[in-house]
Chain A
Amino acid sequence: MSNFAMLFRGFSVVFTFQNIAVCLLGAILGLIVGAMPGIGSLAGVALLLPLTYKFNPTTAIILLGSLYYSNMYGGSFSAILLNIPGDSPAVMTMLDGYPMAKKKKRPGQALFTANLASFVGGTIGMIILTFLGPGLANVGLHFGPQDMTALLLVAMTSIGWLVGKNPTQGVILTMLGILLACIGMDPQTGSPRYNFGNMYLMGGIPFVPFVIGTVGFSQVLRLMSEREDKVDEKQMVTQKLTIRGSMLTGHDVKRLLPPAIRSGVLGTFVGVLPGAGATTGAFLGYAMNKAFKSEEPFGTGAIEGIASCEAANNAAAAGAFAPLLALGIPGSGTGAVLLGGLMMWGLNPGPLLFTNNPDFAWGLIASLFLANILTLMISIGVIPFLIKILTVPVKVIIPIVLVICMVGSYANTYSMYGVVVMIIAGLVSYICEKSGYSTAPMLLSFVLAPLLENNMRKAFITSQGSVGIFFTSPISCAFMVILFAIVLTPVVRGIIASTKKKKEA
C-alpha cells in the first residue's frame, strides 16, 4: 500500500473523540510549556508521562507527540514579545522577531509570521516524514546485530559530542546512563545484577521517576535563581494585540513563503540526524536564508528572518520522528523520553514498527498533521491573551512543577521509591549540569542500553567473541569509522592544543 494510503489509514485511527481531544490538549499544553521561559519540551513531555498510563499507546503518543510538536510554536511567543526565548530553538527567532515587534510596532504580524512559517515548515517536515519513515525502516530491516550495535554506538556518542560544550563529558554521561540501565535483571538470562541485595533495585531504576528527576526536578532547582527576574516592562511589547490587527498582507505572505519552504526542507533533514535537533535546524535555516535576497537585512525585523528559523525548527521536530519510529533511535533528549514511553507501553520502535504496528506508527504521523492544524488555530486564537500568559511569574510555576514531580514519580511505582529515585536523579543532574555536563546523552543511553546490549551480545555470539564482526559488513564498518572519528576527535584536538601551547612556551 502506498505511503499516502497508509497515512489515510492513520487518519482513521486518529479521528476518534478521545484522540482528537488529547491532540488538542497536547497542543495547548505544548504552547504553554513552549511559551513560558524555563520549562521546555523535554520537561513538559517528562512531566506528562505519568498521565498517559490510562491511555492506549496510540492515544498516549498522540498526546506527547502533539505536545512536543506544538512546543516549537510556543517558544517563539516570548522571543517575539519579551525578547526572551521560551525554548532554545527560539533563540534565532528573537533576532528578527523582537525588532519587528518593538521597533516596527508590528508584534501581531511577527507572531502571525512565526505561526504561519511554523505551519509551512512542519507540513513539509511531515510530508517528507511520510516517505522517509518507511524508507528508513526498509533500510533498517537489512541491519544485522553488528550493524545495529555500531549504529547505536554512533547515535549515543554523537549526541554526547554534539550536545554540551565538552565531548568528553558527554561521553562520560552516556556511559553512566548505560551502567545505570544495567541495574536490575539481565535481559537475557533474567538473573539479578548490580542490585546490591536491594529488593527495589532488582526491578531496575524506574524510567519515569528517573526522567522526571533528570529533567523536571533539576530544572526547578535551576529556575530557583531566576524566579525573582521580572520581565523588564520597558523591554516588553505592551501594544494591545488583536487577531484582526495581526493579519499579514499578501505581500508579507509572499515574503514569508520562499524562506519557509527552503528551511522546511533543510530542517527536516537536520532533524533526522542524531543530536542535531530543532535548535541546530533553526540556526542552519537562518544562516542558509541569510545568503538569499531579502527585502530587509536579517536582524532588523525581517519577515524572512522569522520565517527561516521558525519553519526550520518545526520541520526538524517532525523529521526527528523518522529515525525514532523507523530505527528506534531518538535524536534528542525529548526523543529519548518519547522512546522510553513507547517501550513503557510495550511497543518496540524499530524497522518492524511500520509492519507490526501500522496503526500506531501511521496514527502518530497523522496526529502530527492534525496537531499542526490545531496548534496553528490555537496559536492564532491566543494572540490577544499572550501578554497575560507570558507574564505568569516563575515563582508560581516552581511549586506546581515540584508537586507534579513528586506525584508523578509516586504514581509510577506506587511507593516512595520512585520519589527517592526522582530526587537523587534530580540532584545529580543539577550538579552535573552546573559543572558543564549535559544530561541529555545520559537519558538517551539509559533508554537505548537494553537494545544495545541485546544486539552486542548477539553479534559476539555469532562471531564467537571476535571484534572483527564489526568490520565485516560494509554498514557496520562505515558506522565504526564514524564512531572512531567521533571518539578520537576530542583526544586529537586536545593533544594538538597542548603541543601548540608547549611550543609557544
Chain B
Amino acid sequence: MAENTEKTTEKRGVFTVISDHLPQIIPICTSAIAILWIVLGLKQYGFWDEFKGPKTGFFPTIIAIVMLAISIFALVTSGKAKKPEFDKENWMAALGMLAMVLMSYIVGMELSILAFMILWLRVYEKCTWKTTIIATAVVMAIVIGAFRFWLGIQFPMGLFDLIF
C-alpha cells in the first residue's frame, strides 16, 4: 500500500515536473526537430545543385534554420512564460479515444463505437437512459447512415474479419 502511494507520488511528480517545464520543453523539441531536418536536408537530400538549382533538401533546410533560430530565442526568453496547468479529467477523452481504437481491433469499429457511447454516457457521465439512447442513436445514424452506406466506407471488423 505504502509502496503504491510512493509510486503515485513519484508519477505525479514526473508529470508536474514535465508540465512545469513545458515552456522550455517545447522550444527544445522544436529545436531538435529543426536540427534533424537540417542534418537530413544537407546530408541526405542535398541543398543546391550548380546546374539544376535547389535540391530536395533546399526548402526544408532554410525553414528549419529559421525555426532553430526562433526556438533558441524562445528558449532563452522562456523563463517569464506562464506554466500551464493540466487537469486529469482532460486526459479522459484521450483514454476514451484510445480504448475505442483498441476495441476496434477486437470487436470492430462500429461495435466499439456503440459500446463506447453507452459506457461513456451511462457509466462515466451518469446520463439518463433516455439521453444515452438518443445520443447513441444520433451517432450510429451518422456512422452507419452517412459513412458506411452513403460514403461506402468499410470499417474494420476486428476479430469478426477472421470469422466471416
Contacts and interface: CB of A to CB of B under 8 A. Distances in A.
B150 to A, nearest CB: 7
A377 B142 CA distance: 26
A416 B138 CA distance: 23
A416 B101 contact: yes
Interface centre among B48, B74, B150 (most CB of A within 10 A): B74
A437 B26 contact: yes
Contacts of A189: 56
Interface of B is mostly: helix
B98 interface: yes
B80 to A, nearest CB: 10
A272 interface: no
B90 A460 contact: no
Contacts of B96: 399, 402
Interface in A176-223: 176, 178-179, 182, 186, 189, 191, 193-194, 217, 220-223
A344 to B, nearest CB: 14
A290 interface: no
A53 B150 CA distance: 10
B63 to A, nearest CB: 5
Contacts of A169: 74
Given A194-B40, A403-B117, A406-B97, A221 B91 contact: yes
A423 B93 CA distance: 11
A401 to B, nearest CB: 9
A166 B52 CA distance: 40
B53 A465 contact: yes
Contacts of A400: 135, 138-139
B67 A176 contact: yes
A171 interface: yes
A178 B94 CA distance: 26
A51 to B, nearest CB: 6
Contacts, number: 179
Given A179-B64, A194-B40, A224-B90, A172 B97 contact: no
Contact of B59 (A404, A407, A456): A456
Contacts of B90: 221-222, 224-225, 430
Interface residues of B, number: 69
Nearest to B55: A189
Contacts of A456: 54, 59, 62
B144 to A, nearest CB: 10
A423 to B, nearest CB: 6
B45 A175 contact: no
Contacts of A225: 87, 89-90
Contacts of B14: none
Given A176-B30, A179-B60, A224-B89, A436 B151 contact: no
B86 A178 contact: no
B127 interface: yes
Contacts of B139: 399-400, 403-404
Contacts of B109: 406-407, 410
B104 to A, nearest CB: 8
Contacts of B146: 51
A491 interface: yes
Given A53-B151, A411-B147, A434-B86, A402 B93 contact: yes
Nearest to A53: B151
A435 B89 CA distance: 17
Nearest to A225: B87
B53 A395 contact: no
A457 B97 contact: no
B127 A403 contact: no
B155 interface: yes
A441 to B, nearest CB: 12
A396 B70 contact: no
A395 B59 CA distance: 45
A419 interface: yes
Interface string A406-436: 1100110010100100010011001110111
Interface in B126-164: 127, 131, 135, 138-139, 142-143, 146-147, 150-151, 153-156
Contacts of A178: 60, 63
Interface of A: 50-51, 53-54, 168-169, 171-172, 175-176, 178-179, 182, 186, 189, 191, 193-194, 217, 220-225, 227, 395-396, 398-400, 402-407, 410-411, 414, 416, 419, 423, 426-427, 430-432, 434-437, 452-453, 456-457, 460-461, 464-465, 491, 494
Given A182-B63, A400-B135, A414-B154, 12 more contacts: A51-B151, A54-B150, A54-B151, A175-B66, A179-B63, A194-B40, A217-B93, A402-B100, A406-B97, A406-B101, A406-B113, A431-B22
28 contacts: A50-B147, A50-B151, A51-B151, A169-B74, A171-B70, A175-B34, A175-B66, A175-B67, A186-B45, A186-B56, A191-B56, A193-B45, A193-B57, A222-B90, A224-B89, A396-B127, A402-B116, A407-B109, A407-B142, A407-B153, A411-B151, A416-B101, A436-B23, A453-B59, A456-B54, A456-B62, A461-B53, A491-B73
What are the 5 A-B residue pairs with the smallest beta carbon separation, nearest first? A175-B67, A434-B84, A461-B53, A182-B60, A186-B56
